[in-house]
Amino acid sequence: MTSILRSPQALQLTLALIKPDAVAHPVILEAVHQQILSNKFLIVRMRELLWRKEDCQKFYQEHEGRFFYQRLVEFMASGPIRAYILARKDAIQFWRTLMGPTRVFRARHVAPDSIRGSFGLTDTRNTTHGSDSVVSASREIAAFFPDFSEQRWYEEEEPQLRCGLVCYSPELLTLLLLSGRQWKQPEEKLLILPRPH
């Protein structure tokens, strides 16, 4: 594995999943999406997919043998999910804080305004997933976005996103740069985002 050199100010990547319980409810899905935007995450990539049971088993193999494993695998393969690659300073910890505790009962008491505190149903149907470390973020991003090169992103896209004027296209559900090779959309379709901190 090649080491990725990052400046001290470099944006960090994390994987965020919106689970089937939230994707099945458009109002909740949109509310979570708006939380991502309002908390100044940059949406680097996004896709919706139906996850095959075999892929779920591989993704959660570290939990194999635990009491919740089979229930989690069945649930994650039960309907569409939305996967994001998110970027911002301290993205992993910030996303985990925004999600709230894994256990919904605890989330409702300790972090009632968190995503899980607001929308979670059970410890399995808890709306979201997020990477817990840089190593797991790289592994999980590769599982959902096999064509995405983290190395190339840090070399080519990250400096532009960190330093450039970034906008979000609600129509395209993606980030665009207001300068450079990527942007040619009418401004009325764009939401201008502040530079990430």
CA dist., res. 195 & res. 153, Å (int): 17
Q: Tell me, what's the pLDDT at 176?
A: 58
Residue 185 near residue 176 (C-beta atoms within 8 A): yes
CA dist., res. 21 & res. 81, Å (int): 9
Domains in the chain: how many in total? Answer: 1
Binding residues for ATP: 19, 68, 96, 102, 116, 126
| Known active-site residue 197 | no
In a domain, 174, yes or no: no
Residue 99 near residue 36 (C-beta atoms within 8 A): no
- pLDDT, tens digit (0-9, with 9 covering 90-100), for 83-131: 999 999 999 999 999 999 999 999 999 999 999 999 999 999 999 999 9
Binding residues: 19, 68, 96, 102, 116, 126
Report residue 161's pLDDT band, with 50, 70 and 90 as the boundaries.
confident
pTM over 0.85: no
In a domain, 92, yes or no: yes
Question: Do β-strands 80-88 and 12-18 pair in parallel, antiparallel, or remain unpaired?
Answer: antiparallel
CATH number at residue 116: 3.30.70.141
**Residue among 25, 33, 63, 129 flagged as catalytic:** 129
In a domain, 4, yes or no: no
**CB atoms closer than 10 angstroms to residue 54:** 10
In a domain, 172, yes or no: no
